[in-house]
């Protein structure tokens, strides 16, 4: 406790004093980077605890687990450890990510960063939560893999709930209450001679067709396929919106448009003369047409409720039978198979799964129903000469917590590899060889 107190004092003094130091710690940088710089300026990166925090931040990204959006997780970071967590997921151009973070206590510092993994070895940080942990809203500009990292400051215990959803980045382009999309990107056209380069949204004849964003009308014309069409370039974007089959064009070329302005009236001009009135909505980039659905998808999925017991967070449990340890919430890959009685530490809960950590630091997801408490021992054993040393980790090179007498009786709480987790008559817990 004395060493911990000294460390807290050192951190406090250094963090306060660094505001007036010669190094500019508050230039444009994420809150996580600012805290790291404070540790370095105070020389705390040379201490075991400070260097472990810095190493944990990068190591977590190398072993990020795979999740699927939408996602919700409640977890716990223990002040007695130096934790960090990272999650990898895929997102599509046109989606808008919303990442919210609730924490207890609310005054604790918990850093959240969003990265784009165009190059797995050189991730690009694209967003960070502010110090108040207001929700992050980020429009996806590149289809691909993304990563979120969570890490608390040193010596802080934090319970958190992170919620990630993906919705449209553009407003829906019609007033149709049903928001009926009757034909999708890639559907066959002209006996499959070509593919549909947009979505068809059906609605009442001559109902308003709306601007999905602020922007500029770049073109108003007619063509054989689209009939009467309008082209809108959203402000600051690298793509153009295409509105086709209009009965009437209202917008004019060069006009500055606001979100929700009426661009025209729905119809069936062009090659849609034999169909019901609808809007063909497309999006074009310099590379050609792209799927517009992620940009306007009216269905925003919400994450499933968490059914795994939150009361088990930060507890040590064991497997009740042979169990799969997954690298993904979709159970699409396994880290390995755990034998019955394997000891596992619970970090967080999502749906009916726990994100957990094995004694060797390996992380993964496991079905919450496959775990039981360690309060009831697997068995009782008598200590032999080779089992006298009780380690704080299942490793012969770990620190020895205590030494047992030969013949002493202990409870076996679980196993990991060639070690057993035991509890002695004084309720002291540690690892002995099998």
136 domain residue, yes or no: yes
- Rounded Cα distance between 107 and 335, Å, is 35
* Whether residue 389 has pLDDT greater than 90: yes
Cα four-point dihedral sign 303, 182, 283, 244: negative
Query: In terms of residue numbers, what domain contains 420?
Result: 379-433
- What pLDDT, in 10s, does the model give residues 259-285? 999 999 999 999 999 999 999 999 999
Residue 418 has pLDDT above 90, yes or no: yes
**Do 408 and 263 share a domain, yes or no?**
no
**Per-residue confidence (pLDDT) for residue 188, from 0 to 100:** 53
Most confident of 115-124, 148-157, 173-182, 186-195: 148-157
| pLDDT band, very low/low/confident/very high, at 1 (cuts 50, 70, 90) | very low
Q: Is residue 139 situated within a structural domain?
A: yes
- Give yes or no for a contact between 261 and 251, defined as CB atoms under 8 angstroms apart: yes
Radius of gyration, CA atoms only, the chain: 29
Task: Kindly state whether residue 195 falls inside one of the protein's structural domains.
Answer: yes
- Of residues 430 and 4, which shows the higher confidence score? 430
What CATH number is given to the structural domain containing 340? 2.30.30.40
**Residues 367/95, Cβ–Cβ less than 8 Å:** no
Please give the sequence-ordered ranges of beta strands (E in DSSP) within 92-239, or none if there are none.
95-104, 110-116, 124-128, 136-139, 144-152, 158-168, 180-183, 188-189, 194-195, 199-202, 208-210, 215-223, 227-234
The answer on 162 and 38 residing in a single domain is: yes
- Residue 133 CB burial class (10 angstroms; 0-12, 13-18, ≥19): buried
- Are 338 and 356 in a shared domain? yes
- For the stretch 198-247, pLDDT in tens is 899 999 999 999 999 999 999 999 999 999 999 999 999 999 999 999 99
Give the closest residue to 404 by CA, choosing from 388, 386, 380, 391: 388
Name the DSSP class of 30.
Answer: -
Q: Where does the pLDDT of residue 197 fall: very low under 50, low under 70, confident under 90, or very high at 90 and above? A: confident
pLDDT at 27 over 50: no
Q: Is residue 303 part of a domain?
A: no
Rounded to the nearest 10 degrees, the angle between the axes of helix 48-62 and helix 31-41 is 150
Please choose, from the candidates 220, 228, 217, the residue with its C-alpha nearest in 3D space to the C-alpha of residue 254: 217
**Is the pLDDT score of 2 beyond 70?**
no
pLDDT at 17: 37
Q: How many structural domains is the chain composed of?
A: 4
Query: Checking DSSP bridges between strand 110-116 and strand 144-152, what pairing results, if any?
Result: antiparallel
List, for residues 122-132, the tens digit of each pLDDT value.
899 999 998 78
Work out the angle at residue 332's Cα, subtended by the Cα atoms of residues 330 and 334, and round it to the nearest 5 degrees. Answer: 115
23 pLDDT band (50/70/90 cuts)? Answer: very low
161-181 pLDDT, tens digit each: 999 999 999 999 998 765 788
Contacts of residue 25, defined as CB under 8 A and 6 or more positions apart, other chains included, come to 18, 19, 34, 37, 38, 41
| CATH code of the domain containing 105 | 2.60.120.380
Work out the pLDDT band at 52, boundaries 50, 70, 90: very high
Same-domain status, 189 and 245: yes
Per-residue model confidence (pLDDT) at position 172: 95
Residue 175, domain member (yes or no): no
Do 144 and 69 reside in the same domain of the chain? yes
What is the CATH classification number for the domain harbouring 202?
2.70.70.10
Position 413 pLDDT exceeds 50: yes
- Tell how strand 65-66 and strand 85-91 pair up: parallel
Q: Are residues 7 and 154 in the same domain?
A: yes
Q: Does the residue 114 lie in any domain?
A: yes
pLDDT at 19: 37
Same domain, 150 and 43: yes
Residues 154 and 6 in one domain: yes
d(CA 239, CA 232): 9
Specify whether 54 is located in the same domain as 142: yes
The pLDDT tens digits of the residues spanning 292-343 come to 999 999 888 899 999 999 999 999 999 999 999 999 999 988 899 999 999 9
Taking CA atoms, 267 is separated from 153, 189, 405, in Å, by 58, 19, 89
* Tokens 């829906």, located at residue: 172
The predicted pLDDT at position 298 comes to 87
Do 87 and 194 belong together in one domain? no
Mean pLDDT of 194-199: 80
Residues 102 and 149 in one domain: yes
C-alpha span between 412 and 394 (Å, rounded): 14
Average pLDDT, the chain: 91
Average pLDDT rounded to a whole number, residues 23-32: 65
Phi, psi values for residue 186, rounded to 5°: 90, -5
Question: Do 45 and 105 share a domain, yes or no?
Answer: yes
302 in a domain, yes or no? Answer: no
What pLDDT, in 10s, does the model give residues 334-369? 899 999 999 999 999 999 999 999 999 999 999 999
């Amino acid at each position: 406790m004395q060493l911990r107190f000294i460390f807290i004092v050192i951190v406090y003094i250094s963090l306060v004093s660094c505001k007036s130091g010669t190094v500019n710690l508050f230039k444009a940088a994420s809150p996580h980077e600012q805290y790291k710089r404070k540790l370095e300026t105070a020389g705390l990166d040379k201490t075991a605890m400070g260097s472990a925090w810095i190493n944990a931040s990068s190591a977590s990204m190398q072993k990020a687990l795979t999740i699927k959006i939408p996602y919700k997780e409640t977890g716990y970071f223990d002040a007695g450890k130096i934790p960090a967590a990272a999650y990898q997921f895929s997102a599509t151009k046109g989606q808008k990510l919303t990442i919210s973070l609730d924490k207890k206590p609310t005054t604790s510092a918990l850093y959240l960063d969003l990265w784009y993994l165009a190059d797995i070895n050189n991730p690009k940080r694209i967003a960070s939560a502010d110090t108040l942990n207001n929700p992050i809203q980020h429009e996806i500009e590149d289809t691909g893999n993304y990563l979120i990292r969570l890490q608390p400051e040193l010596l802080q215990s934090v319970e958190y709930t992170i919620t990630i959803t993906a919705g449209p980045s553009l407003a829906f382009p019609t007033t149709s209450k049903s928001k009926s999309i009757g034909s999708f990107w890639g559907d066959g056209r002209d006996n499959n001679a070509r593919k549909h380069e947009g979505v068809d949204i059906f609605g009442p004849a001559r109902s308003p067709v709306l601007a999905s964003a602020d922007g500029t009308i770049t073109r108003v014309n007619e063509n054989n396929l689209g009939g009467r069409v309008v082209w809108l370039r959203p402000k600051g974007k690298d793509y153009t919106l295409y509105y086709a089959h209009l009965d009437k064009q209202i917008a004019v070329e060069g006009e500055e448009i606001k979100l929700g302005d009426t661009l025209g009236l729905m119809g069936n001009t062009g090659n849609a003369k034999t169909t019901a009135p609808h809007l063909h909505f497309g999006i074009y980039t310099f590379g050609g047409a792209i799927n517009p659905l992620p940009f306007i998808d009216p269905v925003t999925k919400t994450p499933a409720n968490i059914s795994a017991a939150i009361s088990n967070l930060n507890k040590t449990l064991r497997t009740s039978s042979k169990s799969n340890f997954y690298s993904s919430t979709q159970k699409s890959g396994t880290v390995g198979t755990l034998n019955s009685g394997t000891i596992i530490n619970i970090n967080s809960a999502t749906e009916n799964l726990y994100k957990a950590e094995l004694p060797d630091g390996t992380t993964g997801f496991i079905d919450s129903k496959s775990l039981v408490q360690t309060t009831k021992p697997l068995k009782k054993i008598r200590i032999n000469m080779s089992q006298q040393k009780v380690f704080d980790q299942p490793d012969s090179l770990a620190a020895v917590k205590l030494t047992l007498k030969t013949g002493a009786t202990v409870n076996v709480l679980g196993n990991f590899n060639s070690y057993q987790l035991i509890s002695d008559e004084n309720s002291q817990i540690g690892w002995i060889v099998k």
